[in-house]
Amino acid sequence: MHQGTKAVEERLDRFVRDRLNPAIYVDRIPLTVQAWQAPREPVPFSHAIGQVFEDVSLGWRFGRAWSTIWLKVSGVVPDSWNASEQKSLAAEILIDFGYNTSRSGFQAEALAYDLSGKPIKAISPKNSWLPWDYSNKQIEFYLEVAANPDVAGEYSFEPTVFGDWDTAPETALYELKTLHLGRRNTEVWELVQDIWTLRGLMTSLPEQSTRRHELTRAIEDMLDAMNPSDVASTAGKARQLLKPALSSPANASSHRIIATGHAHIDSAWLWPIRETVRKCARTFSNVLSLMEDHEEFVFSASSAQHYKWIKDNYPSVFAGIQKRVETGQWKPVGGMWVECDGNMPGSEAMVRQFVYGQKFFRENFGLESKEAWLPDSFGYSGSLPQIVTQSGITSFLSQKMSWNQVNKMPHHTFWWEGIDGTRVFTHFPPADTYISELSGEELAHAESNFSEKGRSSISLVPFGWGDGGGGPTREMIAAAYRTRNLEGSPKVTMGSADEFFQQAFSEYKNPPVWRGEMYLELHRGVLTSQRRTKLGNRRNESLLREAELWASYATVKLGLEYPRAQLEAIWESILLMQFHDILPGTAIAWVYKEVENRHAEITVELEEIISDSIHALANQSKSSNGTIAMHANARPTINQGVLAFGIAEATETKSETSFSQQGEAAILDNGILRMSIDKAGRITSLVSLKNNREAIPSGLAANEFQIHDDNPTRWDAWDIDEHYRNSKEVLDQVEVFELKRGTSGEAVVETERHITSPGRPKSTIRQTIALYPGSSEIDIRIDIDWHESEKFLKLAFPIDIHAEEVAAETQFGFVRRPTHVNTSWDFARFESCQHKYLYMEEQNWGIAFANDSTYGFDVQRSTESNGATVTNLRFSLLRATRFPDPEADQGEHTMKFKIRPSATIQDAVNLGYELNFPAREVKGSNPVEPLVTCSSAQVIIESVKLAEDESGDLIVRLYEATGGRADCRLSMAAKAEKIYLTNFLEQPTDSPPVAGDSGIDLQLRPFQVLTVRVAGLKF
Ligand SMILES: [Zn+2]
């Protein structure tokens, strides 16, 4: 037989486009429309409907970028429309704002309200209709239209003016093309769905397969049977002809898929935070509307913050969600405040994502999530298995690792083992998407791509429009019904992630294990982009630690009111700003303007809480004032004689660091370290005098500014492409070089250098290198006025050390990363993440680097002619990408480093805290002993706070920081009624409590985190 299958496919596509799709809607009647333009920012329904609306007609152009237009729509259902026809000819409102229909969530969107202000359903390019009941003769409703610009377009990554209200043009972006009442021929619509599923299945099957040919012939017969001029009358017959193809059952061994409805909603990205509030309202209204017609449909949505926005602004939608959560159809997943970045949030912040997420779910839905849900974050730290497990979570879902540039992750379902050894059952949907349409192609890919075949037979597919929200559509649900049991397709069941994990876990006897971090081999620039946001994040994380520590102490000791609501609101804001397109620096300009302001406001609030608390403690009351100048020490180490977590007079050092000019070099010497700095401001020698060990390789220089061209092929703010290294300029010319004495006896070298790039204002780099008397480390401060474009600035430290790997801090511990590129996995990690410190060592000697806001670094080995191994560490200081924020990182930046040679990993841990917790001065009348102390230096108290349940109990979170075992006694400044261990949610574990004591003895495994709850502390 002659085949001609391609010809049938092409014939089908034309038929669907020209005959079937236009036949879905009949009897279109234009509706009457009036419009009111909101002045700038969105307003509530009650405010909008009181305004004066003006008549507009079809063809009206409207909507400057980011503006809001309210439409009042009215009309009448014709008397000729008979209620008995409702089922076969469903009344619907059809809307088109002149957007392109390639995808949902990135252009104009609207929310429809009934006259009482209750949201009905949303309108977006792929979901542009509203249901209407025949019996509701008088049509009247409102549409709140958000004229959101399509910022990314076709992802050509050109600089855009649309990323901020103030830079966007006034031009109208949209057109009122359609606002009609129409009737949907449900038989034609169902036929379109039949064809869509079969067409997708057909082309996903091998060309030689019998099933593929059967489908081709069934479609051919269907086409032959239809009357192209009267589709409606022949649609029923066509469906009958396709029925055998659709009812042939799936193979016994076919892959099984649990399809869970989902809408990935980026908490901010190519839109500001305020727009996400409305995106949530629109998406969730869609889902509730869909649930009315489809009982089997299950929807999973993460992010307590999103639910809170709905609770605060759309109470009827929230009530609808609560009702569906109760019936099990709506699943709050993830247990987090937002889907945050997976690498950069600090230890306690990552915990609080879950503490506040699970708390919101518990209080509002009566449940805690069982699965972590981070499909889109850019890599996952090795601390997450322990953090999620201690937060009541038993499984982990991601998808992003399928974006790896170089290596394919070997597993889709596996145990993920964290740095401390905790394992969590993990799944990456093999469909490689969290925005599935349940197309034949996606379903087939899920099966063919699935690595666990033969041992496991099931995977999860999240379906529904996402990134910009939108969620599932009735077409996707139609596809799910049709693929329940369909020959050639995986078997699709709608369900929850929890059901998936239970089934996957029970059938997979011995899943493979992936140990350590999951490094995303892409988006490596996110550790550096939008640096001011990263600095604000680090600063406020540190201030929160201090504020909670001192405020808790002032409350338990002096009875001061704990600023609980204020602290919780601050945490919620910080956690939101750690969202996976905010902290990474990949959102539009508007977002960073807002985030930098929020960070600044939070700093002021936290400084006030800290100041009030330490003042009260140092004076034993809120109102009295002492005169002794003291230091409040929030570090885990003694600082100038002041104990960790104590307040006391600091012991002053009267000595001075000596300095001299020897030829062209400045020599700084404090008896512990001796350093030479050349005329270009580079460190050419750094000697630890106690063992006479030189840190800088002979002939090389550290503290060297290097600048690269930074032109990633795609994803500008996200990506650093490996080829950036091929262009390097060393900034070795200084305009100012000054060697001088500082105010505390330190010797200081100050330099200033400039960068002059064609067509750009001059950039200025000022640097201070200081060596304090009695100090084992050097202090570096850099102030940069940055005006470069598409450049990448690094600060290089070649170190004379034979180090196979470096230890980079992550939450509650560190990750070791190779300094070489033996494997493709090593090669792909050419830019990595650190938190407060980085450490490298060889036998008997190591060197520690601490930073206050630098997350990105790279490290490479080289061998000198004399055979010495040099470990080249480079910190990533600044980028200047042009998409999505064309002015990213322009302007002032400040950054600090500390470098301690002859250091241990313990020194590195301490150094990180020492840089991030500078001494805080307070005038008082008496010293204050620490509220809590820990007897082991290895064990760091990360957080001291009051319990979330308002019981007044004290919560102390501590962890083993050096990768070893530790016994310690945690002691309180007073006796407690009961001391016991809890999980992160502050719920007791089964270890026995201690009663009537002022301390508890603890044993910690490497990197283990413990939470201690102290009840009834009596001063
Ligand atoms: Zn995302």
Ligand 1 mean position, distance from CA 538 (Å): 22
3-state secondary structure of 375: coil
Instruction: Indicate whether this model's pTM tops 0.95.
Output: yes
Ligand 1 mean position, distance from CA 793 (Å): 27
Ligand 1 mean position, distance from CA 341 (Å): 10
In sequence order, the 6+-apart residues with CB closer than 8 A to the CB of 771 are: 657, 668, 669, 670, 673, 675, 746, 747, 778, 779
Ligand 1 mean position, distance from CA 533 (Å): 18
Beta strands in 285-357 (DSSP E): 299-301, 330-332
State how far the Cα of 193 lies from the Cα of 390, in Å rounded to an integer. Answer: 45
> CA distances (Å), 820 to each of 480, 520, 861, 869, in order?
48, 18, 6, 11
Ligand 1 mean position, distance from CA 166 (Å): 25
Ligand 1 mean position, distance from CA 854 (Å): 23
Contact predicate 487/500, CB 8 Å: no
Protein residues within 5 Å, CB atom, of ion ligand 1: 266, 376
State how far the Cα of 60 lies from the Cα of 1002, in Å rounded to an integer. Answer: 71
pLDDT at residue 1, rounded to an integer: 66
Contact predicate 890/774, CB 8 Å: no
Sheet arrangement for strand 371-373: 371-373, 395-397, 423-427, 413-417, 513-515
pLDDT at residue 154, rounded to an integer: 87
pLDDT at residue 416, rounded to an integer: 98
Helical spans, DSSP H, in 876-948: 905-916
Ligand 1 mean position, distance from CA 582 (Å): 10
> CA distances (Å), 166 to each of 169, 468, 589, 1007, in order?
8, 22, 10, 48
Ligand 1 mean position, distance from CA 51 (Å): 36
Phi/psi of residue 980, nearest 5 degrees:
-150, 165
State how far the Cα of 202 lies from the Cα of 224, in Å rounded to an integer. Answer: 18
Tens digits of per-residue pLDDT, 422-434?
999 999 999 999 9
Distance in Å from the first CA to the final CA of the chain:
94
Ligand 1 mean position, distance from CA 65 (Å): 22
Cα 389–Cα 304–Cα 372 angle in degrees, nearest 5 = 30
Cα 897–Cα 899–Cα 905 angle in degrees, nearest 5 = 115
The ranges of the chain with pLDDT < 50 are none
Tens digits of per-residue pLDDT, 362-392?
999 999 999 999 999 999 999 999 999 999 9
**158-168 in b/e burial notation, b at 16+ Cβ within 10 A?**
eebebbbbeeb
Ligand 1 mean position, distance from CA 877 (Å): 25
Helix (H) / strand (E) element for 234: namely: helix 231-247
Ligand 1 mean position, distance from CA 158 (Å): 20
- Cβ-based neighbour number of residue 53 at 10 Å: 16
The angle, 0 to 180 degrees and rounded to 10, between the axes of the packed helices 273-293 and 315-327 is 50
Ligand 1 mean position, distance from CA 266 (Å): 5
Ligand 1 mean position, distance from CA 55 (Å): 39
Q: Which two tokens stand for residue 1005?
A: 């495994």
Helix (H) / strand (E) element for 922: namely: strand 920-924
What are the DSSP calls for 505-556, one per residue? HHH-SS--EEES-B--SS-GGGGTSSHHHHHHHHHHHHHHHHHHHHHHHHHH
Strands 647-648 and 628-632: antiparallel
Tens digits of per-residue pLDDT, 646-679?
999 999 878 999 999 999 999 999 999 999 999 9
Ligand 1 mean position, distance from CA 374 (Å): 9
Place of tokens 């609306």: 53
Ligand 1 mean position, distance from CA 823 (Å): 30
State how far the Cα of 852 lies from the Cα of 850, in Å rounded to an integer. Answer: 7
State how far the Cα of 166 lies from the Cα of 81, in Å rounded to an integer. Answer: 49
Q: For the purposes of burial, counting CB atoms within 10 Å of the CB of 404, is it exposed (0-12), middle (13-18) or buried (19 or more)?
A: middle
Ligand 1 mean position, distance from CA 303 (Å): 12
The angle, 0 to 180 degrees and rounded to 10, between the axes of the packed helices 589-619 and 531-558 is 30
State how far the Cα of 733 lies from the Cα of 795, in Å rounded to an integer. Answer: 15
